[in-house]
Amino acid sequence: MRSLLLLTLACFLCSPALAKPVTGERLLAADRDADNWLSHGRDYSEQRYSPLAEVNAGTVSELGLAWYFETDTRLGLQTTPLVIDGVMYFTGAWNTAWALDAASGELLWKFDPDVARSKSITACCGAINRGLAAWGDLLFMGALDGRLIAIDRSTGQMRWSTQTTDPAEPYAITGAPRVARGKVFIGNGGSEFGTRGYVSAYDAATGEFAWRFYTVPGNPADGFENEAMARAAETWSGEWWRYGGGGTVWDSIVYDPEFNQLYLGVGNGAPHNRRIRSPGGGDNLFLTSIVAVDPDTGEYLWHYQQVPGETWDYTASQQMTLAEIPWEGAPRKVILHAPKAGFVYIIDRATGKLLSAEPYTTVTWASGYDLDSGRPRENPGQDYAGEPAMVFPSAMGGHNWHPMAYSPDTGLLYIPELDMGMLYDEIAPIDYRHLKRHYNTGYEMSHESYSQRFTQAMLRHLPKSHLLAWDPVRQQAAWKLPHPNIHNGGVLATGGNLVFQGTSDGRFIAVQADNGELLWTFEALNSVMAGPVSYRVNGEQYIAVAVGRGGALTMNTGRSYPTGNPNNRIMAFKLGGSAALPATPAAERPAPPPQPEATAADLEQGRTAFNRYCARCHGADVVGDGSIPDLRYLPAVWHENFSAVVLEGLMEQAGMPRFDDVLDSAQVGQIHAYVIARAHEDHALRQEQGWLAAIKDYATDISARVAAWLVRFQVRDD
C-alpha cells in the first residue's frame, strides 16, 4: 500500500510541469523565498538565515519530531539538504543522493554513482559529502572520485558527468558545488596527499568545460597559466611543485551578485611544514587566502591572504558569508569569515581590504593584525622550527567545515567554535619522506614521547567548545554557550529569534538568538555535525538536520555515541510534531582474543604505525567513532583475517584500503598485537566500571584521566 502511494507520489512529482526550474532569477531572489532552501547556504549570501518565524522563541517549546529518514550507513553525514518546492534533496557517504517528500520524509528516489571504494585511501576525511547545487531541472554533485555529476531532479537519473580531476592524482571532492550565471563551480581536496588546488567551471546545462583557476603555481618550467600564477610563483622557493603545494578549495565558493565576483576559500600548504614546502620562505600565494575571480572567465580580480607562509594547516576554506553591516557610520558590503586560524576577518567585498581581524578563540600563533598591510604579527617560536611548539588553534581549526550562520535581525554571527591547541613537532626537512597515498604534514604525531608531551600540554588548557555569537560591528563576542563536548555541529539562524545547533553529545538545540538562552533540546540519539535548514510546506515551518558521526574530526578523536551509533538519519521537526526515534540496539562488544606474544618494543612499534596509518579512520589509540569499525571490538573472523584485510585488500570493496605499499607482515603483526592490547585495556576498564566507563570514555570530562584519553589522537585536515 505504502509503496503504491510512493509510486504515485513519485510520478506525480516527476511530471515535468511540476518540477519548477531553479532559474537565475529564482536564485537571485532566494533570500525572500521563505519556503525553500535553494542553495548550500540558502541563498547567495550564505548567511544560513531563514526568515521563517512560525517557530520562534515563544513557540519553540511545542517543536517536535515530524519525521525521520534513516539511511543505510553509519559513515559520516555532513550534508546540508536542499529543499525545493516541497522536496528535500541530500547527499551521503560514497556520494549517494536521496530525494524525500519534505513534509512526510517518504523516499522519492535514490541515486548511487558507484564510486570506487579504493578511493577511500586518498579521501582525507571519510567518504563524506556536504551537499548539492540546483540549476534548471538539474542537481549537481561533486564525487569523491573527482566527477561532477548532473542529476535529473525529478527522476534521480544521471544527465551528464564530467571528470574534473586527473584520476591518477590523489584528488577527492567533498564540498558542495555552487552555481551562478549558468555555470557550476567545483573545487577539490587532497593537499595532504600532495595535490595542487584549483577550481573549475562548467556549463550547467551541458557539462562543457568553461575555465579553471589554479590557486598555487605549478612548475615554472611548464610555464604559468596566467599573470596571477607568475606573480604567485615569486612568493615560493625551492621545488614546491614536487609536493603539489596545496591550496585546495575544498569547501567554500561564494558568488556575489552585487559585484559579480566569485570568492574562493583557499586551503593550507602541502606539506603543512613550510620549511619543507618552500625552504627559502615566502608568503606562498594563494595559500590560506580569499581569492576573488570573475565568474564568467575565471580571471583573477583580487586576493586577501590571511596567513602568509602558513605552516599549521590553517585553511581559508571555511564558510564565507556575505553581509552588509554598519561600518564607520555607513553601510559596508563585507565578507564575514571565521576560518581555522582563529580570527574573525571582515573584508571589504569591493576591494578585498581587511577591515577587522579579532580572535574569536584562543590564538597563540599571532598576536594580531596590522590593518594597513593586512598582515598578521606572527609570534616567535610558534612556527616550531627545530623546537616543538604548542599552538592554538590546532590543525582542526578554531572553526572547521561545520556551517556558521548570520542573522540580519540580531546582526550577530553564530560560530561553532573549538578552543583547542596542538603540539607541532617538526620532522626535519632532511628526514622528510613524501608518501603518495598517505599523510604528508611535515610534523610528527605518532610516537610515544610526542603523545606524552601533547597530553601534558593539553592538560594545561583543556579543549573546549562553544556556540559563539560574534558581533562584527563591535568586533567582540556577544555571548557564548559552552558545550560539554568538542566537535559540535553547524548552525542555522531564523526569523524566530532562534539559533539551531546539533552537538556531538547527541542533542539538537534551539537557543535564543539575541541572548544565548537555551530554550529547547531534543535527544537525537547520535552526534549531529551538519548544518540545519528550515523550509515551509503546506503552510507549516520545518527545521531539518542530518544526524550522524563520521568525517575527519570525529573519526580521529574517536568515541562512538555511548549507546553505539545507529545508521545516519535526517530528522525534520515542526510545531506539534509527535514522531519518535527508535531505540538503538546495544552495541556489540565481544571479548578480545588472547593477547599474542609481543615485546614492549613490538607494541610500541605497533602503536606508532597504527597512529601513523590507521588512526585517521579507526581513531587515535584505537578508539573508533562508530562510523567505521572500532577495532577493539572486532569479531573473531577479522582477527583471523587481519593481515589479509590490511595487506591484501580483503575489505577494499567496503572502503578499507590496502597498506602493502608501506607495511610488511611483521609490522602488521605488531599493529595487530597493539590493537589486541588496547582491546584488553578497554575490556578490563568496562568490567571494572561498566556504564560509567562508557560515559567517561565519551565525554570531555574535566577529570585528568578523561582529558588524557581525549587528547590521544592524531590531528589532520578536514
Between CA 394 and CA 362 the distance in angstroms is 10
Of 583, 572, 399, 406, the residue nearest 489 (C-alpha): 399
Q: Interacting stretch for ligand HEC, rule CB under 6 A, among 183-191, 318-326, 361-369, 634-642?
A: 634-642
Q: Closest CB to ligand HEC among 119 and 466? A: 119
Between CA 422 and CA 650 the distance in angstroms is 35
Q: Closest CB to ligand HEC among 395 and 617? A: 617
What's the closest the beta carbon of residue 470 comes to ligand HEC, in angstroms? 35
Between CA 568 and CA 582 the distance in angstroms is 13
Q: Interacting stretch for ligand HEC, rule CB under 6 A, among 178-186, 407-415, 484-492, 627-635?
A: 627-635
Between CA 213 and CA 298 the distance in angstroms is 6
Q: Interacting stretch for ligand HEC, rule CB under 6 A, among 58-66, 276-284, 350-358, 646-654?
A: 646-654
Tell me the three cell numbers of residue 620. 587515535
Place of cell 571490538: 633
Tell me the three cell numbers of residue 146. 573527482
Q: Closest CB to ligand HEC among 211 and 638? A: 638
Spell out the residues 6+ positions from residue 328 whose beta carbon is closer than 8 angstroms to its own. Answer: none
The answer to whether 418 contacts ligand HEC (rule: CB under 6 A) is no
Q: What is the distance between the terminal CA atoms of the chain, rounded to a whole angstrom? A: 44
Contact (Cβ atoms closer than 8 angstroms) between residue 190 and residue 171: yes
What's the closest the beta carbon of residue 485 comes to ligand HEC, in angstroms? 23
Q: Report cis status (omega within 30 of 0) of the bond before 170.
A: no
Contact (Cβ atoms closer than 8 angstroms) between residue 361 and residue 375: no
Q: Closest CB to ligand HEC among 337 and 712? A: 712
What's the closest the beta carbon of residue 659 comes to ligand HEC, in angstroms? 5
Type of residue at 399: H
Between CA 277 and CA 288 the distance in angstroms is 15
Q: Closest CB to ligand HEC among 257 and 629? A: 629
Q: Among residues 291, 467, 510, 645, which is the contact residue for ligand HEC, using CB under 6 A?
A: 645
Burial of 110 per CB tally in 10 Å (0-12, 13-18, 19+): middle
The answer to whether 466 contacts ligand HEC (rule: CB under 6 A) is no
The answer to whether 679 contacts ligand HEC (rule: CB under 6 A) is no
State phi, psi for 391 to the nearest 5 degrees: -125, 135
The answer to whether 613 contacts ligand HEC (rule: CB under 6 A) is yes
Q: Interacting stretch for ligand HEC, rule CB under 6 A, among 249-257, 442-450, 490-498, 650-658?
A: 650-658
Q: Among residues 201, 656, 677, 710, which is the contact residue for ligand HEC, using CB under 6 A?
A: 656
The answer to whether 5 contacts ligand HEC (rule: CB under 6 A) is no
Between CA 486 and CA 477 the distance in angstroms is 19
Between CA 529 and CA 130 the distance in angstroms is 11
How many residues in total does the chain contain?
718
Q: Closest CB to ligand HEC among 509 and 628? A: 628
Tell me the three cell numbers of residue 488. 559540535
Q: Pattern of binders to ligand HEC over 110-129, x per CB under 6 A?
A: ----------xx--------
Q: Closest CB to ligand HEC among 57 and 634? A: 634
Of 590, 592, 596, the residue nearest 668 (C-alpha): 596
Q: Among residues 160, 224, 259, 638, which is the contact residue for ligand HEC, using CB under 6 A?
A: 638
Of 44, 134, 68, 60, the residue nearest 494 (C-alpha): 60
Q: Among residues 9, 205, 651, 685, which is the contact residue for ligand HEC, using CB under 6 A?
A: 651
Of 368, 341, 200, the residue nearest 269 (C-alpha): 341
Burial of 168 per CB tally in 10 Å (0-12, 13-18, 19+): exposed
Q: Interacting stretch for ligand HEC, rule CB under 6 A, among 154-162, 230-238, 479-487, 648-656?
A: 648-656
Q: Among residues 464, 569, 618, 678, which is the contact residue for ligand HEC, using CB under 6 A?
A: 618
Q: Pattern of binders to ligand HEC over 573-612, x per CB under 6 A?
A: ----------------------------------------
Q: Interacting stretch for ligand HEC, rule CB under 6 A, among 107-115, 172-180, 514-522, 630-638?
A: 630-638
Q: Closest CB to ligand HEC among 130 and 337? A: 130
Q: Closest CB to ligand HEC among 193 and 613? A: 613
Site residues (vs ligand HEC, CB under 6 A): 120-121, 613-614, 616-618, 628-629, 631, 634, 638, 642, 645-646, 651, 654-657, 659, 671
